Amino acid sequence: MLRRLPMPVDRPPAHKLCTAWIEAIRDAFVVLLPLTLFGVVATVIVQFPWPIGRAWMAQSFGPGWASAAEDIVRSTWGVLGLALAITVAAMLAQRAPRHPGREPLPPIWVAISALVNFMLCVGPAGPLTTQALGSASILTGIAVGLATPTLLWPLARWRPLARLAVGYDSNPVFFHAIRLTLPIAVLGVAVKLAADFAWRFPLSVAGWPEAIQRWLGSRLDADWIMTPALTLLHQVLWLFGVPGGKVVNTHFPAWLTNAGTPPSHDHVLLPLLTGFVHLGGSGATMGLLIAMAIAVRDGPTRRLAQLSWLPALFNVNELLLFGLPLVLNPRFVLPFLLLPVLLTLPPLIALHAGWLTLLPVQIPWTTPVLVSGWLLTGSWVGVALQLLGLVISTLVYLPFVRRNEAERQARRVLEFHDASSAIVADGQRADSPLRRADHVGVIARGLLQDLERSIGTPGLWLAYQPQHALDGRAIGVEALLRWTHPGYGAVRTDVAIALAEQGGLISRLGERVLDEACACKARWNERGLEALTMSVNVSPQQLGEPGLADTVARVLHRHGLRPGELEIEITESSGIPVSRVADDNLAGLEALGVRLAMDDFGMGHASLLHLRRFRVSAIKIDGSLSRDVMAHPVSADIIRAIAALGHTSGARVIAEFVETREQRDRLAALGCSVFQGYLHSRALPAEDCLDYLLDARRHDAARASADSDFR
């Protein structure tokens, strides 16, 4: 007898599920920013408050300009609910945990299921219109987007619904399409039944607003309660993405006194809300924009604020509502809900005290702040009240903006470190960070573009670290790349090099570094430092590209340097290419008379084999070995062996990261002859390094003179 199989149910912790829901909704609003921005621009055009502007647009764009703008509004805001259902479902499916051995829920099929379910939800309401699919159905879209992947996941794993599944050796698209057919259909039927039930037995609020208004109206000055209460309801609705103004106008008309009618203390004055509370749109977001201008100096938040200023002048703030977003944003929930309630008090006080008189006029809701204050009151009192509201809203939003910006900056630093680590670690793998679709890939590609723009600018510069012989004489310097990013500050050199290698910039960057280092050496020669050797790093990728020796010869000729003044350090740790082009480049450099050195020797790819390919003038001990020489005997043994090999081949042995005299003496005893590190000097800018070298030369001369006198 077969047992009945229960439907599997995954129950993640409630807090994780809620977090995933909130993040999916937030990301969906961000994904829909192009649609939002397009609709915002069209809304501003359609609702432009001044006749002269409308006349100019009619003259410039023809009589059909308003109709065209309305079509755009219908095509954007008119599908917002449907778009939210699809994008929320897809975002939530992407965030679903990946369980080993279980098939994932592909976002494209989740989005298709959400599309069907949304249409099933709004279908019983009557003919499908842009109102049914658009902003009036935002809450429905969010609910469908959350419910679809949450319910489809266990349905897809329920064995009775897997009867259509084909073998896993089939085409992946066909495999998932067949596997999810029955679960999508079953979920659609369930949604249809639930929607029909909901529409057949609706939750009616008819009569409630009127009864409350009559009860409050019997009290003296009921507007003190009704105005803040209606404002709070308006904000709560917008917090969940539901257009609060439409709901209030539809279900609470008995509470409202429209513009142009005499004021009444048992009603809510609509001009008071539009003119003195919702400054810049729902939530008094003009103050938020001012706070962002004060506290946010760079980044996407500042860019969003810049894009939002023009619409906000006309009280259109959907870019902030759905782009920041303010909708379902726990960081801004308190000011978004309570600030408008607070802003109802100054105009109510002024109205009851007789300081404020509202004129019986009607003005478009898109009339800018300060202008609307004058038109509604005919005096500077209205303007002053709006200015007071802007000051209050700015002061209330400012600490929340600063906290949000601090969190963003901290998150930005962590993401930058993630990207930097991935760039260095994964640079030689097929899945380069530049190909990734997550935040690491976005940052890596952005850094690559910034690096390309930085070549030839002060942001990309060279520091020079002196190299000293055992007797203390300065005998050379190493040119080290430094990149000061305008947003992230100092970027690690290995990150910049790996990024240039992965992005195809290494030849251009390498030639620029070589040219700048040789130009610096030419300037130093004029100060009598011809005997110093300038060491420049070359990436193994550059060795694999034709013409490297010709490039070096051209740069040396340009700056009037002898080949022996230049030493090319080949970074061995990433693998020197074994090819005819690389061998030709090495032979060309050797024939030119340029010194060749092996950098990071002992920790890379086939170090000993490379010594057979070209004559090495110097071997630089890998920094990890020289740093550990005092604590690890094995490191000392490796250094001793490398030094013996270098002496046999006639190469100098250079130790870097030398920080103490004891470390230097130990390295010297092991066979090292040149030392580079903080014991002598850190890497210095060109002018500072020149001063250091001149001082070192004077010191060496004075010491030599003293030794001569002693003898």
- Give pLDDT, residue 69: 79
- CATH code: domain 478-493+505-591+673-711 is 3.20.20.450
Token code pair at residue 201: 């037995």
Q: What is the mean pLDDT of residues 446-456?
A: 93
With a cut of 70, say whether residue 662 has pLDDT above it: yes
- Give pLDDT, residue 75: 82
Query: What digits encode the pLDDT tens for the residues 481-520?
Result: 999 998 889 999 999 999 998 888 999 999 999 999 999 9
* 384-388, 434-438, 518-522: least confident range: 434-438
Delimit the domains of the chain by residue range: 14-200, 214-410, 478-493+505-591+673-711, 622-652+663-671
Q: For residues 110 and 95, give the distance between their C-alpha atoms in angstroms, rounded to a whole number.
A: 12
* 249-258, 314-323, 685-694: least confident range: 249-258
Q: What is the mean pLDDT of residues 294-306?
A: 88
Instruction: Using alpha carbons, select from 32, 26, 15, 16 the residue that is nearest to residue 328.
Output: 26
Q: What is the mean pLDDT of residues 35-48?
A: 79
The alpha carbon torsion through 440, 441, 443, 445 (nearest 10 deg) reads 160
Query: What digits encode the pLDDT tens for the residues 351-366?
Result: 888 888 888 888 887 8
- Give pLDDT, residue 298: 83
- Give pLDDT, residue 605: 47
Instruction: Write out the catalytic residue numbers.
Output: 656
- Give pLDDT, residue 431: 60
With a cut of 60, say whether residue 521 has pLDDT above it: yes
- Give pLDDT, residue 139: 81
With a cut of 50, say whether residue 677 has pLDDT above it: yes
Q: What is the pTM of this model?
A: 0.76
CA distances to 74, 75, 283, 625 from 43, in Å: 10, 12, 19, 66
- Give pLDDT, residue 166: 59
Q: What is the mean pLDDT of residues 452-463?
A: 93
- Give pLDDT, residue 112: 92
Query: What digits encode the pLDDT tens for the residues 128-170?
Result: 666 677 777 888 888 899 999 988 888 887 777 666 665 555 6
Instruction: Using alpha carbons, select from 118, 96, 286 the residue that is nearest to residue 191.
Output: 118
Token code pair at residue 641: 């062996």
With a cut of 80, say whether residue 385 has pLDDT above it: yes
Q: Say what percent of the chain tops pLDDT 70.
A: 85
Q: What is the mean pLDDT of residues 10-35?
A: 74
201, 207 Cβ separation under 8 angstroms: no
- Give pLDDT, residue 333: 92
